[in-house]
Structure 1
Amino acid sequence: MPKMIFVNLPVADLAAATRFYQAIGCQKNDQFSDDNAASMVWSEAINFHLLTHSFFQTFTALPIADAKAACGALYAISFDDRAAVDATASAGAAAGGTVEGLSVVDMGWMYNRQIQDPDGNVLELVWMDISAMPQDEAG
């Protein structure tokens, strides 16, 4: 099996969260989706698993964090160009996400926008041209 990452996110409204992740470019994998979960494929290696609160709670005894009140993680996903970052931010906002008041970073060689999904989880939409990165930033 190739190395993959599965980001499991608790969601209050599975249908709304599914619409949001489809709007930003994920494909729903019906094989791993049902009334409790939606498997949203970002790439061959990255999947977002959207889990209803009750189903999510079967995987942990810890309380579910309120992602709208505090940020526990930033999930960065890459794009081929700046235009795709902007288009994805717009599509996500139209599908129930929030971009207003969130960070936009434009360093010329790197462009990064943040969007919150309907549950408040923060996604960083990133484009980079490493070949254009100034040498003093390369470390």
Structure 2
Amino acid sequence: MTTQAFINLPVADLPKSIAFFEALGFKRNPQFCDDNAACIVISDTLYVMLLVHTRFKDFTPKDICDTSKAVEVLISLSCDSREQVDHLVAQALANGGTTYDKPEDYGFMYTHSFVDLDGHGWGLLHMSGAPA
């Protein structure tokens, strides 16, 4: 059996968050979508559940992190190429996301990142070989 991962993220404005991730080229799985949640398909085994705050609170008694003051999570995704890394960051920035760093080239690995509309950090990396 292949393990699938569902990352649950609280979002302030579900329609805006859906539009943001669709602008990056990701699709929704309507089977897991309603007025309070949307399933964004990252790959065959990785899904992001965008949940309005009240729905997210159904899964935890803890407070939702204020991402303007603290880091809640950093999610890293592998990409097929450096161009895909740059494209996803550019799409994120064009659709309201931000970044706090510059691309880094380690020879065997190229990285960059963005922060989505709700302050969740997304690292992108392309590995072109083994580290020296």
Q: Give the TM bin, normalised by the shorter chain.
A: over 0.9
Structure 2 unaligned regions, length at least 5: none
Task: Give the CA deviation at 1:23.
Answer: 1.9
Q: Deviating runs (4+, > 4 A) in structure 1?
A: none
Aligned residue in 1 for 2:104: 105
Quote the Cα distance in structure 1 between the aligned partners of 2:69 and 2:104.
Answer: 22
Structure 2 residue identity aligned to 1:102: D
Q: Is the 8 A contact 1:25 1:42 kept in 2?
A: no
TM-score for the superposition, normalised by structure 2 = 0.94
Structure 1 residue identity aligned to 2:63: P
Q: Where in structure 2 are the equivalents of 1:34-73 lying within 5 Å?
A: 34-73=34-73
Task: Give the CA deviation at 1:69.
Answer: 1.6
Task: Give the CA deviation at 1:103.
Answer: 4.7
Aligned residue in 2 for 1:31: 31
Task: Give the CA deviation at 1:72.
Answer: 2.7
Q: Is the 8 A contact 2:65 2:71 kept in 1?
A: no
Deviation sequence 1:117-138 (CA, Å, 0-9, x none) = 000000001111124x21xxxx
Alignment RMSD, CA only?
1.2
Between Structure 1 and Structure 2, how many residues are aligned? Answer: 132
Aligned residue in 2 for 1:11: 11
Deviation sequence 1:81-127 (CA, Å, 0-9, x none) = 0011001100111112112x335321121111110000000000111
How many percent of aligned residue pairs carry the same amino acid? 38
Quote the Cα distance in structure 1 between the aligned partners of 2:108 and 2:13.
Answer: 37
Structure 1 residue identity aligned to 2:22: Q
Report whether the alignment pairs 1:128 with 2:127.
yes
Aligned residue in 1 for 2:92: 92
TM-score for the superposition, normalised by structure 1 = 0.89
Quote the Cα distance in structure 2 between the aligned partners of 1:90 and 1:57.
Answer: 32
Task: Give the CA deviation at 1:22.
Answer: 1.3
